[in-house]
C-alpha cells in the first residue's frame, strides 16, 4: 500500500461509535466506502474504549436505527442477558460488541476497512475537502466524514472549530459561566477516563497490581464511601465476574493539563501515559482496599502497544474539538419546553419552517471535572418508576461545516456548545448521528451535491424508511418502532413541528397493539415471573414485595422501559396483588417489567 492512492465515494476517518455507524450505513446505502481506523476494534466508546455499559436512549421507543439493531444483536449473543449493572440497562462483554461491528463490516463487499492508521494531512481544493493522507497511502473521496475521537480532521483541514467553554453572554445558556474562571481554565473540556476491566478471581488469589510511578494514591480515598464496596463494584458489572472501572467519584477520570491532547503529538502521548497510569493506580487501590480476589481481567482487549489486555485500547473521550457548523446546538435546545417533558424540535434554525431533526437523545446533561461538582440546569424527569432524561433532537445543520464542502462530522465533534456536549456525547446518540451522516453522504454521492444542498426531508425519509434499521427522529414516549402507526406519526410531526406535544405522547388510535405484544412476550421469552404486592412510594416510585421459596421477604424497585407498562403502573393502587414478568437485575435490585397480570 506504500504511496498508493485509493478512491471512494465516501471516506470515514475514525472507527469510533459514530464513524463505525456512518461507514456501515453509507455502505448499506450502496456507496463505495473506505473506513480507516486507528485501532484494531471498531465501535469506540462501545468497545475499544471499554464503556460497554452505555447510557441513554434506553426507553423502548428510542431503541431504533443502528442502535436498536446493535441492542438486538447483543441480546442474542450475550449469555445471561444485558441486566448486569446498575448504571445502565445494557451491560455486555466488549469483545461481543466488537465482534458485532466486525461482522457487519464483513457483510458489506463495498466497505473496505483499513485498521491501524491515523490521518496526517488533508487535501483540499479551495473550500472543498477532497482527500486525506495517511503514512503510506492517500484516499480521495467525494464526501469525507470526520469520525475521529478528537476531531482531528477539523484541525488538519483548518476547518473552524471550538475547544473550551462559551460564556453565558454568547448564547444565553443558563448553565454557562458569566466569566472565565478557575474551572474553565483548569478543565477547558471534560475529563476522559481510561477504562480498566477488573475481575473477581473468587477464592483464587489475583495477580498483584503494581502501582504506576509518580502517583498519589490518597486521591482515591473515599471513592465508594457513599455506596459501599458491593454497590461500587456492581456499578459497571459485566458478565463473567468482570467489572468495568469508569468511576467518577475520586476515581479514574483524569484531566490534568488536558489541553495537552491537542498541543502536539509529544504532549498528547505524555497525557495519555499519565491517564493510563491513573487508572492503573485506581485498580491497585481497589485491590489493596477490597482484597486480592480482585485483579486485572485477562484477555479482554486485544494486545496493543504493550498494554495489559485489561486496559481499553484508548481513553473514553467525553469531548473533542467541536465543529463550527451551519447551526449550533445550545443548552436551550436540550432542556424541556415550558411545562413539558420534551425539548422543542428546533425548527426554523436550519431553514425557515423546516424541522431539521436527524437523530434523538435523552440523557441528562452530565459533565466530568475531577474534584468539581459543576451545577447544570436539570433536565431529568421521572418516567417508568425511575429517572431518565428529557428527550431532544440533533439537527442536520450541526453536522455540516459553516463554510467547507466535502465534509461531514459524525462523532462528539458536531456543532454544539461545551455545555450541550454533556448530553450529546453519549454512545446511542452518537451512533444515531453516525447513521444519519453515513446516509447523508451516500445520498450526496448519488445526487452529486454537497451536504449543505441535500434536502433534509430526503434524509429524514431515508432514515425513517431504511429497510434494515429504520431510525426514529422524533422522540415519542408511547410509540415503539414496531407500532403500526409509528411512521405516520413521525412524518406528521416533521410536517407539523409546532404540533409536537409537550408531553412527548402522541394520540395513538388503539392500544390493541400492546395487548398482542404482551401475549407474545409471555409466550416466547424466557423471563422471571413473580407474584407479589405492589407498593406506591410516590407517583413515579414503585416497589414490589415478594416472598421467596425460603420465606425470605424481598422488596424490589419496579422499573420499565415500555410506555404502556408505565401507564399501568401509574394507575395501580397501593397493596395491589400482581403477577409480573420481566428481568430481575440483582445489581440494581430492580425488576425490569415487560408484562403485568392483575
Domain limits, the chain: 4-164+318-499, 196-296, 513-597
Q: How far apart are CA 499 and CA 489, in angstroms?
A: 11
Give the residue, 524 or 209, on which the prediction is more confident. Answer: 209
- Element of type H or E holding 563: helix 563-571
Estimate to the nearest angstrom the gap between the alpha carbon of 560 and the chain centroid.
20
Name the helix (H) or strand (E) containing 169.
Answer: helix 168-171
Can you give the pLDDT at residue 548? 77
Helical spans, DSSP H, in 496-562:
512-524
CA-nearest of 91, 94, 66 to 81 is 91
Tell me how many helices (H) and strands (E) the chain has: 14, 22
Encode pLDDT of 73-97 as tens digits: 999 999 999 999 999 999 999 999 9
Neighbouring CB atoms inside 10 A of 202's CB total 9
Helices marked H in 398-511: 418-424, 427-447, 456-464, 486-495
Of 594, 598, 584, 592, whose CA–CA distance to 517 is shortest? 594
**Arithmetic mean of pLDDT, 52-79:** 97
Average pLDDT of the chain, as a whole number: 94
The predicted structure's pLDDT at residue 350: 67
Q: Dig out the grid coordinates for 579 from the structure.
A: 403477577
Q: Which residue has the cell 495519555?
A: 272
Q: Is 134 helix (H, G, I), strand (E, B) or coil?
A: coil
Instruction: Read off φ and ψ for residue 541, nearest 5 degrees.
Output: -145, 110
Angle at 410 between CA 408 and CA 414, to 5 degrees: 85
* Alpha helices per DSSP H over 496-542: 512-524
On the question of a common fold for 4-164+318-499 and 513-597, the answer reads no
Ordered alpha helix ranges (H), 361-451? 418-424, 427-447
For the CA atoms of 221, 227, 231, 237, what is the dihedral angle to 10 degrees?
A: -60
Residue range 513-597 forms a domain whose CATH class is: mainly beta
pLDDT > 60? residue 518: no
Q: Determine the angle formed by the axes of helices 427-447 and 17-28, rounding to 10 degrees.
A: 40
d(C-alpha 219, C-alpha 485), whole Å: 54
**pLDDT for 34:** 98
Q: What is the pLDDT of residues 345-403, one digit of tens each?
A: 976 666 777 899 999 999 999 999 999 999 999 999 999 999 999 999 999 999 999 99
Which residue matches cell numbers 437523530? 359
pLDDT, average across residues 407-419: 98
Which ranges of 228-352 does DSSP label H, i.e. alpha helix? 229-234, 265-290
Decide yes or no: CATH 3.50.50.60 for domain 4-164+318-499. yes
> Cell numbers of 349, please?
434554525
Amino acid at each position: 500500500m506504500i504511496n498508493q492512492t485509493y478512491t471512494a465515494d465516501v471516506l470515514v476517518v475514525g472507527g469510533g461509535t459514530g464513524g463505525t455507524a456512518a461507514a456501515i450505513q453509507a455502505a448499506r446505502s450502496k456507496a463505495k466506502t473506505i473506513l480507516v481506523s486507528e485501532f484494531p476494534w471498531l465501535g469506540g466508546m462501545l468497545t475499544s474504549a471499554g464503556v460497554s455499559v452505555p447510557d441513554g436512549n434506553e426507553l423502548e421507543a428510542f431503541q431504533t436505527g443502528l442502535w436498536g439493531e446493535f441492542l438486538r444483536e447483543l441480546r442474542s449473543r450475550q449469555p445471561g442477558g444485558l441486566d448486569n449493572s446498575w448504571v445502565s440497562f445494557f451491560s455486555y462483554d466488549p469483545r461481543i460488541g466488537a465482534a458485532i461491528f466486525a461482522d457487519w463490516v464483513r457483510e458489506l463487499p463495498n466497505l473496505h476497512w483499513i485498521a491501524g492508521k491515523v490521518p496526517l494531512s488533508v487535501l483540499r481544493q479551495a473550500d472543498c475537502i477532497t482527500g486525506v493522507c495517511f503514512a503510506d497511502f492517500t484516499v480521495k473521496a467525494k464526501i469525507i466524514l470526520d469520525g475521529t475521537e478528537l476531531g482531528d480532521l477539523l484541525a488538519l483541514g483548518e476547518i473552524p472549530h471550538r475547544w473550551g467553554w462559551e460564556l453565558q453572554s454568547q448564547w444565553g445558556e443558563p448553565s454557562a459561566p458569566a466569566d472565565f474562571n478557575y474551572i474553565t481554565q483548569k478543565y477547558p473540556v471534560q475529563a476522559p477516563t481510561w477504562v480498566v476491566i477488573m475481575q473477581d478471581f473468587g477464592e483464587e488469589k489475583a495477580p498483584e497490581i503494581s502501582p504506576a510511578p509518580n502517583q498519589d494514591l490518597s486521591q482515591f480515598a473515599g471513592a465508594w464511601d457513599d455506596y459501599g464496596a458491593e454497590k461500587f463494584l456492581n456499578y459497571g458489572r459485566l458478565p463473567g465476574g468482570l467489572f468495568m472501572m469508569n468511576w467518577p467519584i475520586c476515581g479514574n477520570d483524569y484531566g490534568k493539563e488536558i489541553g495537552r491532547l491537542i498541543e502536539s503529538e509529544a504532549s498528547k502521548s505524555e497525557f495519555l501515559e499519565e491517564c493510563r497510569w491513573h487508572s492503573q493506580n485506581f485498580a491497585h487501590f481497589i485491590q489493596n482496599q477490597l482484597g486480592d480476589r480482585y485483579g486485572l481481567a485477562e484477555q479482554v482487549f486485544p494486545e496493543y502497544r504493550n498494554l495489559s489486555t485489561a486496559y481499553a485500547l484508548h481513553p473514553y473521550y467525553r469531548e473533542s474539538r467541536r465543529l463550527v457548523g451551519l447551526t449550533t446546538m445550545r443548552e436551550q435546545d436540550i432542556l424541556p419546553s415550558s411545562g413539558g417533558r420534551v425539548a422543542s424540535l428546533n425548527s426554523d434554525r436550519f431553514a425557515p419552517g423546516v424541522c431539521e431533526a436527524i437523530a434523538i437523545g435523552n440523557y441528562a446533561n452530565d459533565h466530568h471535572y475531577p474534584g468539581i461538582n459543576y451545577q447544570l440546569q436539570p433536565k431529568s424527569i421521572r418516567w417508568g418508576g425511575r429517572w431518565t432524561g428529557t428527550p431532544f433532537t440533533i439537527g442536520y445543520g450541526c453536522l455540516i461545516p459553516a463554510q467547507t464542502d466535502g465534509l461531514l462530522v459524525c462523532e462528539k465533534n458536531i456543532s454544539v456548545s461545551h455545555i450541550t456536549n454533556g448530553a450529546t456525547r453519549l454512545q446511542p446518540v452518537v451512533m444515531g448521528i453516525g447513521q444519519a451522516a453515513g446516509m447523508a453522504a451516500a445520498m450526496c454521492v448519488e445526487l452529486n451535491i454537497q451536504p449543505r444542498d441535500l434536502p433534509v426531508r430526503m434524509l429524514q425519509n431515508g432514515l425513517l424508511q431504511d429497510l434494515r434499521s429504520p431510525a426514529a427522529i422524533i422522540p415519542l414516549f408511547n410509540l415503539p418502532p414496531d407500532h403500526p402507526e409509528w411512521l405516520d406519526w413521525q412524518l406528521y410531526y416533521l410536517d407539523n413541528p409546532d404540533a409536537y406535544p409537550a408531553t412527548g405522547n402522541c394520540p395513538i388510535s388503539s392500544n390493541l397493539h400492546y395487548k398482542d405484544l404482551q401475549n407474545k412476550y409471555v409466550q416466547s421469552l424466557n423471563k422471571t415471573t413473580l407474584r407479589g404486592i405492589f407498593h406506591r412510594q410516590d407517583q413515579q416510585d414503585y416497589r414490589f414485595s415478594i416472598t421467596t421459596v425460603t420465606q425470605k421477604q424481598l422488596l424490589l424497585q419496579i422499573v420499565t422501559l415500555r410506555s404502556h407498562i408505565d401507564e399501568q403502573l401509574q394507575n395501580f393502587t397501593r397493596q395491589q396483588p400482581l403477577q409480573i414478568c420481566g428481568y430481575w437485575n440483582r445489581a440494581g435490585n430492580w425488576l425490569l417489567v415487560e408484562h403485568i397480570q392483575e
